[in-house]
Structures are given as structure tokens and as C-alpha cells.
Amino acid sequence: MASTGPAADAARTAFRERMDAKGHAVENARAAVAGLEAAFAAGALVRTTLLDQMLGDLMLALEQDEGQKLGGKSAEAARFILRAVSRELDNA
């Protein structure tokens, strides 16, 4: 059952705003995930199995070695996965 109430709505809205913010897709993804993790910790949203899988995939796409820049493929993967997470948030 999806989380309801003002805190859940605010968490979903904040995630989507971070996801769509101007700037680099990788940095936006990191900010969106940080906000989502905070919403899970606060109990505003419930973590689903599918969200866990998506977030795991996203974190793999965002991994980088020290000094390495993330570019094209990481940014594209981040955008793709963030859109899937956004759709799944309606179930969280």
C-alpha cells in the first residue's frame, strides 16, 4: 500500500523536482537519491522491493573512481533509472 499524507506527497514532489532540476544529471540523481533516503528514514515513504532494485542499479551507474568524471553513459543511465523510480514512487 502506498504512503499517503502531506509528508509522502512532499517527498514525491521533492524527488521529482530534484530529478528535473537544471544541472548535470549525475549530480541531480545523487541529490534526488539523498532526499529519497531521507524520506525513507523519516517514514514519509515506504521502501518497496522494486525501488530497492532500481536504487541499487542507479548507485552502480553513479559509481566512479577517484578523479574520474562521470559523463554520457552514466548520465543517460541516471536519467533512465530516475524516470523509473519516479513512476514507482506512486507505490512507495
Contacts of 92 (CB under 8 A, 6+ apart): 2, 3, 8, 12, 45, 46, 47, 48, 51
Taking the domains of the chain in order of start, what are their residue ranges? 6-91
pLDDT at 69 (0 to 100) = 55
pLDDT at 71 (0 to 100) = 56
pLDDT at 8 (0 to 100) = 94
pTM of the model: 0.81
pLDDT at 59 (0 to 100) = 85
- Ranges under pLDDT 70 in the chain: 1, 64-72
What gap in Å lies between CA 61 and CA 85, rounded to an integer? Answer: 14
Q: In this structure, are residues 62 and 25 in contact, taking their beta carbons and an 8 Å threshold?
A: no
What gap in Å lies between CA 23 and CA 75, rounded to an integer? Answer: 11
Q: Which three cell numbers stand for residue 31?
A: 541529490
